[in-house]
Structure 1
């Protein structure tokens, strides 16, 4: 009975703290404070830094109004009004305080790197609350707008705040989402569902050309998102782009799980997902090898599957492409701040009760990683400046959230993030570890410059895990916008380089410095790479087969489940 008590207490504690472990935070703070207490020299350095910054602030108060400074080029304070008195003093005070805390939590003798990173992140979050740009009475742009509109912007902002609050309480959808319904305005590339099991639907897209390349393309999206990130509007659909260029495309559409799916694990997603889909593709397009492309966690799964197939001598893969997908999780970026033993144990306690991870928890973690872009700037623009932002297709897709089964999410966090089994050759498939070094198919890997989910330097570590031909692309944009980067999209650029088998290793920063930047979308470069590995034109295959008949029109049923 005593052992049965703890899980209930742990689950209650997880609900109370929204599955964000206070113990992890306390351990980090105690590690820092206790080691700083034993470092009088470091304390003296910080005291001297505080004095220097006080003198610098005093000098800033005497600075001529309107003078350009490096601080005024911070994008949070880019408006010219921030150069005027007293706003330039408030801005300078905030930036100096931010700099002091960043120095204070770094470089303290004996403190672990993880605890340093946690405290640095939390200090930034705490300081952002007091940023003069986030407060109406110290933001010159807000004050100027309020004076110019006689407070009309405040009225609009109050109405928007009230509407958002009521919508949150009533669990109502965001206005504008009705303009981006899968199958109507987005995810409208013609196709058929040719396979449905308890975990996914497989969509085969209708040919758009008289002849096609003989090798089909199988897209494996992440199940932490709806698949149609790859098939948004016709103008920016990667799937439509491939079909229009003569490729036969299949894509997995994952089921949105509920409590009944709590026991689905990583093996299920591999076998009932990627492997079942590959079997269907090879049945519908017989005697052809397959280009597999995985996105985010779907790319990690595709890499695991490719290694397992190679270990067994399965030669069905023609190539493997990974979009913003990590295979080495030793340095996962700021997302790793939320992943340690205490944090994972707390999440598992909540998952044991609910059976799945709520979409709001994942969205909240990502929002914290980009608090200025996803929280503060939105609040300033909408609630203080009274501006409205029309929803676009990518924003609507981002709000179409999914859940994750308890067992899978626990395995994902432990096996990949905490234990880094895949990069260390300890990830099990059918009870035996797989190694990415077994993959012999050509590789194409895409990282994005400002990715907060899969940092590009972490994605680049695939170079350390494989020895064959690897083409790596570093493109502008973030985790989603960098991948959905159609030709003609303004302000896009990328770098592309290929490591041939036997070439020596180049570290990521040296690689980025040596590879020239190219303007435009990386999609045509990937298309050329695929076509270089593909055969001559053939007649398009039939839609489905006797074994895998067409069941429904695309986008199918699973993508519509909320």
Structure 2
């Protein structure tokens, strides 16, 4: 429920009285807050930030610079002092005029945090905002001018310094947020009570861990208004359920298509609603489509590793799809971490002489981790050591840890902005299907998480020498099936240039690379009907990424039709449509199945 202005007597005395009554409700909420925090499930402190060694190195470097070039340090310090004192004097002069107006504000309004007109017109908020921006600039300058520091360490210092800047924004505090203060006055304190209720509710939902709820969970129901493409669960084991979708055409292409989504999140990102469902669109193009719906692991999956995902996941799904359709080959799609694992599977099959996969499609899949992009701050030993300790303790890497890590890559949009609206404004999160999916995460088994983080992310073993798994030495050069890779221009999880570099290392003679506009999710979930994001293509994959993009052709609209034209050539002739349950194959459940509905538990 969103807050509304009350319809009571609007006299100042009455409003203050009702506000006092509302604030008394805080006492009733205190018991709930105490209860949840007293039973808070703790996690490793190393996951909350870098160890002190990083800041010690930064301090040492800064002091060394000061000793070698004191004039430069004084220049920076005097610049900060000058701006701060000038700012104070301007505010004083404006106040002395008696009209309590703010000095002229030429600050850019591009920052959505400061969209309220009071940030420009009110002397108090104007002063607070300007001083915050001066402080932020000074901190950035100090970090930028650290020279005697390893580039990776400096990049990490810059990331965590930015986190401090974002955290200290005046919009994050009630006393310096005009939107929240105005709402509190309008609702006579009711917004603050509802905000506190929202805060406690989020803490209760996550065992005392604070993860801001981004979407109204009551607005969605799997199988009713999301994940609604008709189909049946036709196979289930400890790792996944296999969904076969009901055909919507009389004829289908002979070679079936099986999708391996990432097991960090749920598969229905590809089937949110009919208007943007890649699942429905593929079915409507005449393909027999199968979807892997991964189990949401609990601590009993502690010893499940990458080999289990390959053997009891990929190979089992391929085996079942071939048995159901009677075909000898399948086309396969791997999204994100599932694309990385698809590359491992392809190398394994090549070494075994197994030709079950006819073609492979990779959605935003990293296979070369030599440049760790925006995740580099989280892939150092202190953080990974903390994750390892967490998995030893709990048997899984909890989804809440991953959700928090991903969110802080865009902290203003996914942490502080939503927190202000929910906790200070008392608003109910929006009914937004994408954000609902974003909050419906999954745990990772302890063994698998560390294999992935240590061996692939940190060690980059697949691209640099090979990755040992299941008695085989797996290499990208083994991959020889026709492949198509789709990467996203502004992807901060799997940067397109890194996806491209991995594809270059694969041994296939037939490679297609498409770079779509937008990011990790919106770039992939990009239906043709929206005509929203275009894409780039260039057949010459011998070029480095900059040259490839410079010579690429841009096409307006979705990449889906281009990819489908490529897939069609790998899918054989058309045959009569195949329905779940044909040939008396046992049906286990309706789509979207049971595994997808299970919430992450510890």
Normalising by structure 1, what TM-score?
A: 0.87
SS in 2 for 1:195: strand
Query: Aligned-pair distance for 1:253?
Result: 0.8
Query: Aligned-pair distance for 1:238?
Result: 1.0
Q: Paired residue for 1:203? A: 243
Structure 2: distance between partners of 1:300 and 1:545:
33
Q: Paired residue for 2:136? A: 98
Q: Paired residue for 1:326? A: 366
Query: Aligned-pair distance for 1:547?
Result: 9.7
Equivalent of 1:253 in 293, 304, 310: 293
Q: Paired residue for 1:35? A: 61
Structure 2: distance between partners of 1:461 and 1:55:
47
Equivalent of 2:595 in 542, 546, 558: 558
Q: Is the Cα contact below 8 Å between 2:156 and 2:376 reproduced in 1?
A: no
Equivalent of 2:198 in 163, 166, 170: 163
Q: Is the Cα contact below 8 Å between 1:189 and 1:205 reproduced in 2?
A: yes
Query: Aligned-pair distance for 1:515?
Result: 3.1
Query: Aligned-pair distance for 1:171?
Result: 5.6
Q: Paired residue for 2:79? A: 52
1:133 aligns with 2:171: yes
Q: Is the Cα contact below 8 Å between 1:544 and 1:550 reproduced in 2?
A: yes
SS in 1 for 2:293: strand
- Correspondence list, 1:69-84, <5 A: 69=107, 71-78=108-115, 81-84=118-121
How many aligned residue pairs are there?
540
User: What residue ranges of structure 1 are gaps of 5+ in the alignment?
Assistant: 1-13
Q: Paired residue for 1:10? A: none
Q: Relative to 1, partners in 2 of residues 1:58 and 1:74: Cα closer, same or farther, differing over 3 Å?
A: farther
Q: Is the Cα contact below 8 Å between 1:57 and 1:92 reproduced in 2?
A: no
SS in 1 for 2:47: coil
227-236 vs 100-109, which deviates more?
100-109
Structure 1: distance between partners of 2:115 and 2:198:
30
SS in 1 for 2:247: coil
Structure 2: distance between partners of 1:539 and 1:364:
47
Query: Aligned-pair distance for 1:365?
Result: 1.3
Equivalent of 2:186 in 145, 151, 159: 151
481-490 vs 541-550, which deviates more?
541-550
Structure 1: distance between partners of 2:388 and 2:105:
53
294-303 vs 453-462, which deviates more?
453-462
Query: Aligned-pair distance for 1:396?
Result: 1.9
Q: Relative to 1, partners in 2 of residues 1:135 and 1:47: Cα closer, same or farther, differing over 3 Å?
A: farther
Structure 2: distance between partners of 1:381 and 1:170:
18
Structure 2: distance between partners of 1:55 and 1:529:
61
Q: Relative to 1, partners in 2 of residues 1:547 and 1:168: Cα closer, same or farther, differing over 3 Å?
A: same
Query: Aligned-pair distance for 1:420?
Result: 0.7
Q: Paired residue for 1:423? A: 463
Q: Paired residue for 2:513? A: 472
Q: Relative to 1, partners in 2 of residues 1:166 and 1:533: Cα closer, same or farther, differing over 3 Å?
A: closer
Query: Aligned-pair distance for 1:54?
Result: 4.2
Q: Relative to 1, partners in 2 of residues 1:386 and 1:16: Cα closer, same or farther, differing over 3 Å?
A: closer
Q: Paired residue for 2:36? A: none
Structure 1: distance between partners of 2:205 and 2:346:
45
Structure 1: distance between partners of 2:166 and 2:69:
26
Q: Is the Cα contact below 8 Å between 1:192 and 1:552 reproduced in 2?
A: yes
Structure 1: distance between partners of 2:110 and 2:383:
37
Q: Is the Cα contact below 8 Å between 1:260 and 1:355 reproduced in 2?
A: yes
What is the root-mean-square deviation in Å for CA atoms of aligned residues? 3.0
Structure 2: distance between partners of 1:274 and 1:170:
33
Q: Relative to 1, partners in 2 of residues 1:42 and 1:432: Cα closer, same or farther, differing over 3 Å?
A: farther
Q: Paired residue for 1:304? A: 344
Q: Is the Cα contact below 8 Å between 1:154 and 1:384 reproduced in 2?
A: no
Equivalent of 1:113 in 144, 151, 168: 151
Q: Paired residue for 2:5? A: none
Q: Is the Cα contact below 8 Å between 1:284 and 1:541 reproduced in 2?
A: no
Structure 1: distance between partners of 2:43 and 2:327:
56
Structure 2: distance between partners of 1:489 and 1:77:
31
Q: Is the Cα contact below 8 Å between 2:504 and 2:542 reproduced in 1?
A: no
Alpha-carbon deviations, 1:70-113, whole Å to 9, x = none? x4333443555544464455434323322332232245344122
Q: Paired residue for 2:526? A: 485
Query: Aligned-pair distance for 1:288?
Result: 5.1
Larger radius of gyration: 2
Equivalent of 1:504 in 542, 545, 558: 542
Structure 1: distance between partners of 2:346 and 2:585:
23
Query: Aligned-pair distance for 1:343?
Result: 2.2
Q: Is the Cα contact below 8 Å between 1:263 and 1:406 reproduced in 2?
A: yes
Query: Aligned-pair distance for 1:241?
Result: 0.9
Structure 2: distance between partners of 1:37 and 1:167:
43
Structure 2: distance between partners of 1:46 and 1:301:
49
- Correspondence list, 1:267-346, <5 A: 267-287=307-327, 289-346=329-386
Q: Is the Cα contact below 8 Å between 2:234 and 2:242 reproduced in 1?
A: yes
